[in-house]
Structure 1
Amino acid sequence: MANQFLSLNDQLHISKIDDLLYVNNNRSVLIQTSAFGILQRDLINNIGINRMKAFFFKYGWQLGEEDAQDIIMDQSLTLLEKILNGPYYHAAKGHVRARVTSHDLEMENGKVKTLRFKGIWEDSNEAEQHIRNFGLSTTPVCYTLTGYASGYVSRLVGEEVFFKEHQCVGAGDHCCIWEGRFLSEWKEEADELLLYSKELPILKELEQANKKLLIEKNNLAMVTSIHKELTDEIIKGNNISSILDIVNRRIEHPVIVEDIYFQEIGKKGISTENYEPIKKSFKVYLKKWNHRIDKVTIVRFENGHRLVTPIFLEEKVIGYCSFLYLNKEIITFEIDSMIIGRVSSICSVLINNEKIKLESKERIKGDFLEEIFSGKHPSEQEIRKKAGYIQLNLSGKYYVVKLSYFYRDGCEEKDLISHKNPYDGVYMFFKEKNISILISQRPDSLLLLVPVNQLEDQNIEHILHSLVNYLKKKVKYILFLAGISAISNNIAEAGSALVEAQSAVRLSTSEEPITTFNDLGMIGVLINQQNENAVRRIITGTLGKLCENTNRNKKELIETLYKFLVNGGNLELTADNLALSVSGLRYRLNKIMNLLGRDDLRDPNVQFQMLLALKALKIVDNEY
């Protein structure tokens, strides 16, 4: 161990040739530690603390390797002696006062089996300058020193060894305590150490960053170009079809735009036949995730991938825009996701424009229908002329339909959006059927004028049943009931047909949601505004106390009696309709007979009179 006590000149072989300084035959320079501190400060300010760590660690590693190279060929020293000389080289060059406090080095077959060194650094120039320039750190700061020790020992043993500080003066500790082991033994801390050693050179990283920026610039230019082309199409007043033509041409993949009911709004690059199985898999995906897609998403299907994004309007998802990658992976996800986002936004604008046009047109048609009902246009010829302006032929026979809707239990809000849904549903139903009608909206009901010439021999009742079933699927928590007028000829008398439809709908129920005016029989013809008071007196005379001072309980009894009479006195069927037990139904019927002052409800004449009275009550009184 005599080498530990060599003089500075013996350790470093310092010489001076032509007034220049040489150490171990390598030209060297002397710098003050303050200059190192300035470099440290400027690096942190310019490239950040993390990059500075890697910079100084590799700088120290290089210094350690060079010193190890000078001693590695000395056959007079053992490997342990060479390693223990490292701290003296380190100190001799002015970096730190270093000493080893413990060491463990085992060899096997000429290779190092175990390596662990621990020690202390005092008067670290690196810690000193960090405190001077930045104050105390929260973590160790001697990156050059750990790099030097790591490079020195790694060069000597021929395997990566890393030294790490456990305590550091720069972090406020009394001295710097360090430990060196093989990289494989550091376990969870190895990633941090590798980060120091594997960091790319700054120029190389700048080169890579520049390439990435160039790619991003080209991608952005492409996206901007497509967006400008699509925007120009909007300015020209073109539709979604022309938009999808451009996108399909530019990205070379099929493009689909569809509403939330999977009805096609636009499609390019794929046939309907080929798209059907893909659409089915998309439906399954949405059902699995409760119909929630609120951002750009990749959906797999049997032979490819779908890049899909929602189309928003008034903060609601109204449809989906998709790019299809048939038998392919999505390679350019970032650029394609930017493009599809812009396509979605433009589709939203175009759909909104169409919506505004449609709403304006339908509002005009609705106002026109209200004018017809109010008698503002007494001349049939005048009405037909105005109908021609909106491409509707009112020269023949027609029906008037009143479609009432009621919010069931479970519907917490009656906001404008949910109120408008029935209107949208009715409009879409007749549009799909290619039937032109007039629609007017009133509170909790829609009024429809349906020309017979639009039905093409279809039965009006069958169409209304299809409409109610269609609406049940589209609009939750709403009960739909319809009343259909008798067939009429004179369009100027549509107000009378409306009264018929209003009378008919009052007899519609959840079990029988469609009632025609003809179903009312003679009672529908006999009741009118002129004799309504007389009809009310007959109702009171027939039903007596049952319809006096009505409250919730009496309304239940009236409905029970009505169901009982409609079902021909069948107890089981009536109980089933009312969701009652037979004994519960009998209890109600006994109460009804007490109010009516009758001992039996099975007399056919009595049943007939009471049923007429109840039907009349439903027609003349909106509460039933």
Structure 2
Amino acid sequence: MLYTERLLDRLEVGDGSLFLNNERVILISMDAFGMLRHDLIQNIGFERMKGFLIRYGRELGVNDAKKILSEHMSSLTDMIKAGPALHMMKGHADVKTTYLEIDTEELGPVTSVCMEGIWRNSYEAIGYMNCFKKAAEPVCHTLVGYVSGYLSTICNQQVIAKEVACIGKGDPECRWIAKSNDLWGKEIEHELIYYKQTPIVKELEITYEKLLEERNNLQLAATIHKRLTQELVNGKDLDSLAQIIFQLMKLPIIFEDTQFRQLASAGVQEKHLKDIQEDVQQHFQHKQFVNKRMKHDHSFRDAAIIKLASHERIMVPIFLQEHIYGYCSFLYLNKEASRTPIEQMILERISYVASSYFLYAKTSFETAERMKGHFLEEMLNGRYATKKEILQRGQLIHFDLDEPYYMIVLKYELHSDNMKEELTFHQQLIEAITTYSQSENLNILVGQQQGNIVMLVQAKQLDEQQIEKTCWEAHSYLSQQFSTAAFYFGISLRATNILKVGEHYDEAVRAVRMSTATSQVITFQSLGVVGVLINEKNVSAIKRMAAMYLGPLYKCGDAKQQELLRTLYFFLFYGGNLEQTASSLAISISGLRYRVQKIEELLGHNMRNPTENYQLFLSLQALILIGELEM
């Protein structure tokens, strides 16, 4: 006779009680259990309800397993198979075992067990569907607990069951798997939480402690933000702000620009800063290289945790007018140091304060630079009648205009027909020049005149050789910053009288007109006597002389004639060298020969006559200097 059949023979009813195998039991309806589940979810939440039902089912399974062990069955397999039979007898579900494997040591205990099966007509699944909509996860929690408790007791080791399919969430059947804990590995870690009973009072205590910790964290973040804002209003610089942050947080902090060059830091020894900078630069250069190959964007706009060779860091970008201006980072020089979520939140608040700092600094700097630029433009336009007035205005912007100086004119060509884009570029170019002069510790005045950028540079900072070298370096810098534009520099003679700033501006203008694609920086001194002799007073005479020497080439003003004049200039400039001339004009040798032949026909003489060529070259130079011809 089966154990379940013998068990039914021990069912006793009487006096309002029901006993099964000498143990009092009760019968409850499936609808009542569904209401219990509903109320548990409403009162303690889904997760606590799930844990409650799993532990309830586990106790049912443990209780039945103890009774089976007391029966002293002949084999472990028989004892395990009795579990599903008991389960069915109680009306929980129709249980079908589909797989069972038990490993034991020789004449010893069970080492592992793996069991799989199907529940049909699960009272939990059907009851759930009667009360709720389709679930997002399996709902047979007491059945899962029962299997876990029963097998754990029979096998004398922790066995965890997991429902992998359930009709309560729309699957065709309820399927389950039960395995020894070591067979599950990390897959079952989350389920183990439900087997640990935590009193709700204890949970409330934990929640209160978390809320208290969160309140303290928010209070700390608010305190730091308020203190930094106050210091910012009081005019403190970035180094002072970094020191305050270090004092409050006890964490090293660093502010960097977009190239990861240090702007300010605190809590880091000077000898370590170089290694830290090289470390982070190498990391992002490598990341940029990899992401370019993968066609990914290497930048990031949110907080990031970076692990480097010398340290670890939390980095948060600092935004300025919707663009990343730099980064602020907490440094963890000891890699074993733990990080907390509050540190990232505080760092994000610090980045907001840093944004305000840089915006104020940028606005103040731009205001000062606009004042300087306006002052330079007024000097060029003859606004000031006396040297004393100019010197007094110069003192207000901390610029000694009694010192010798150079005038520089910067001309640019932007390959764009969009007027709005060109205006934006013009402003960006002025900002780039200002940034470059700051990095080189150059005190300059930057303004605008006739569509060009004009600069006044004090000669005490740069001698005659250095001024030209600096312009070439600035040309390289601007070409890297703005790859779609071409830049040309004209440099005046060394000036000593600020009242003659307009004359020296004209020198720089004439010099820049002589610049070409291969000679982007031209000094007025390099123009020689021609540059000195040509001025506004003899423009008419220059035009008459040019018309006499150039003849038909000068009289015709169409585009083709302009190309012939450019061809003639470069041909003479390179002493008749065809290869260099063709390269500068970006045409073929055969095309150049055709143009030279056409020029000889129009001029009526051979281009190999040195005397006539010299007069032609001087005429072309003169036209360029007075702005009649552009190269």
TM-score normalised by structure 1 residue count: 0.85
Point out the more displaced range, 352-361 or 195-204.
Answer: 195-204
Q: How does 1:183-582 map to 2 (within 5 A)?
A: 183=180, 191=188, 194=191, 198=195, 201=198, 203=200, 208-290=206-288, 292-329=299-336, 331-407=338-414, 414-442=421-449, 444-455=451-462, 459-582=466-589
Specify the alignment match of 2:132 in structure 1.
134
Point out the more displaced range, 385-394 or 416-425.
Answer: 416-425
CA contact (8 A) 1:297 1:309 kept: yes
CA contact (8 A) 1:53 1:196 kept: no
- Cα distance in 1 for residues equivalent to 2:574 and 2:439: 37
Q: Does 1:75 align with 2:72?
A: yes
Partner amino acid for 1:400? Answer: M
Specify the alignment match of 1:60 in structure 2.
57
> What's the secondary structure of 2:608's corresponding residue?
coil
- Cα distance in 2 for residues equivalent to 1:534 and 1:379: 33
CA contact (8 A) 1:164 1:180 kept: yes
Alpha-carbon shift at residue 171 of structure 1 (Å): 6.1
- Cα distance in 2 for residues equivalent to 1:119 and 1:515: 90
> What's the secondary structure of 2:268's corresponding residue?
coil
CA contact (8 A) 2:4 2:89 kept: no
Alpha-carbon shift at residue 50 of structure 1 (Å): 5.2
CA contact (8 A) 1:405 1:444 kept: no
CA contact (8 A) 1:439 1:447 kept: yes
Specify the alignment match of 2:622 in structure 1.
616
Alpha-carbon shift at residue 397 of structure 1 (Å): 3.6
Deviations 1:344-373 (A, max 9, x none): 221221111111111111111211111111
- Cα distance in 2 for residues equivalent to 1:218 and 1:351: 29
Alpha-carbon shift at residue 67 of structure 1 (Å): 1.6
- The 1:56/1:300 distance shift into structure 2, 3 A limit, reads closer
- Cα distance in 2 for residues equivalent to 1:597 and 1:238: 75
- Cα distance in 1 for residues equivalent to 2:239 and 2:182: 63
- The 1:56/1:425 distance shift into structure 2, 3 A limit, reads same
- The 1:307/1:84 distance shift into structure 2, 3 A limit, reads closer
> What's the secondary structure of 1:226's corresponding residue?
helix
- The 1:328/1:343 distance shift into structure 2, 3 A limit, reads same
- Cα distance in 2 for residues equivalent to 1:202 and 1:412: 71
Deviations 1:31-51 (A, max 9, x none): 444332221112233455455
Deviations 1:405-430 (A, max 9, x none): 22258999835543223222322333
Point out the more displaced range, 453-462 or 570-579.
Answer: 453-462
Deviations 1:76-103 (A, max 9, x none): 665455445445544554x436465878
Partner amino acid for 1:96? Answer: H
- The 1:421/1:171 distance shift into structure 2, 3 A limit, reads closer
Deviations 1:90-135 (A, max 9, x none): 4554x4364658786778745678875756644x543443233225
- Cα distance in 1 for residues equivalent to 2:259 and 2:78: 80
Alpha-carbon shift at residue 66 of structure 1 (Å): 0.6
Deviations 1:520-559 (A, max 9, x none): 3333334333432332232233223334444544434322
Point out the more displaced range, 496-505 or 408-417.
Answer: 408-417
Alpha-carbon shift at residue 279 of structure 1 (Å): 1.5
CA contact (8 A) 1:14 1:24 kept: no
- Cα distance in 2 for residues equivalent to 1:139 and 1:325: 41
Point out the more displaced range, 283-292 or 369-378.
Answer: 283-292
Specify the alignment match of 2:92 in structure 1.
96
> What's the secondary structure of 1:521's corresponding residue?
helix
- Cα distance in 2 for residues equivalent to 1:457 and 1:522: 18
Partner amino acid for 2:124? Answer: E
Alpha-carbon shift at residue 330 of structure 1 (Å): 5.0
Partner amino acid for 1:424? Answer: E
Counting aligned pairs with the same residue, the percent is 34
Partner amino acid for 1:383? Answer: I
> What's the secondary structure of 1:391's corresponding residue?
coil
Partner amino acid for 1:528? Answer: N
Specify the alignment match of 1:38 in structure 2.
35
Q: Does 1:607 align with 2:606?
A: no
> Aligned pairs, how many?
617
- The 1:196/1:287 distance shift into structure 2, 3 A limit, reads closer
- The 1:280/1:586 distance shift into structure 2, 3 A limit, reads farther
Partner amino acid for 1:60? Answer: G
Deviations 1:54-92 (A, max 9, x none): 432331121111122122111266545544544554455
- The 1:68/1:260 distance shift into structure 2, 3 A limit, reads closer
Unaligned runs of 5+ in 2: 289-297
CA contact (8 A) 1:163 1:180 kept: yes
TM-score normalised by structure 2 residue count: 0.84
Unaligned runs of 5+ in 1: none
- Cα distance in 1 for residues equivalent to 2:388 and 2:101: 112
- The 1:160/1:487 distance shift into structure 2, 3 A limit, reads closer
- Cα distance in 1 for residues equivalent to 2:382 and 2:116: 104
- The 1:209/1:494 distance shift into structure 2, 3 A limit, reads same
> What's the secondary structure of 1:331's corresponding residue?
coil
- Cα distance in 2 for residues equivalent to 1:329 and 1:131: 50
Deviations 1:484-512 (A, max 9, x none): 22344442332222222212210012322
- Cα distance in 1 for residues equivalent to 2:118 and 2:473: 88
Point out the more displaced range, 390-399 or 183-192.
Answer: 183-192
Alpha-carbon shift at residue 576 of structure 1 (Å): 4.2
> What's the secondary structure of 2:551's corresponding residue?
helix
> What's the secondary structure of 2:70's corresponding residue?
coil
Specify the alignment match of 1:5 in structure 2.
5
CA contact (8 A) 2:50 2:194 kept: no
Deviations 1:255-304 (A, max 9, x none): 32233355543232335443123212222223223372433233344422
CA contact (8 A) 2:405 2:456 kept: yes
CA contact (8 A) 2:409 2:505 kept: yes
> What's the secondary structure of 2:408's corresponding residue?
strand
- The 1:441/1:79 distance shift into structure 2, 3 A limit, reads same
Deviations 1:555-581 (A, max 9, x none): 343223212212222334334444555
- Cα distance in 1 for residues equivalent to 2:496 and 2:163: 99
Alpha-carbon shift at residue 183 of structure 1 (Å): 5.0
- The 1:181/1:386 distance shift into structure 2, 3 A limit, reads closer
- Cα distance in 2 for residues equivalent to 1:378 and 1:146: 97
- Cα distance in 2 for residues equivalent to 1:391 and 1:167: 79
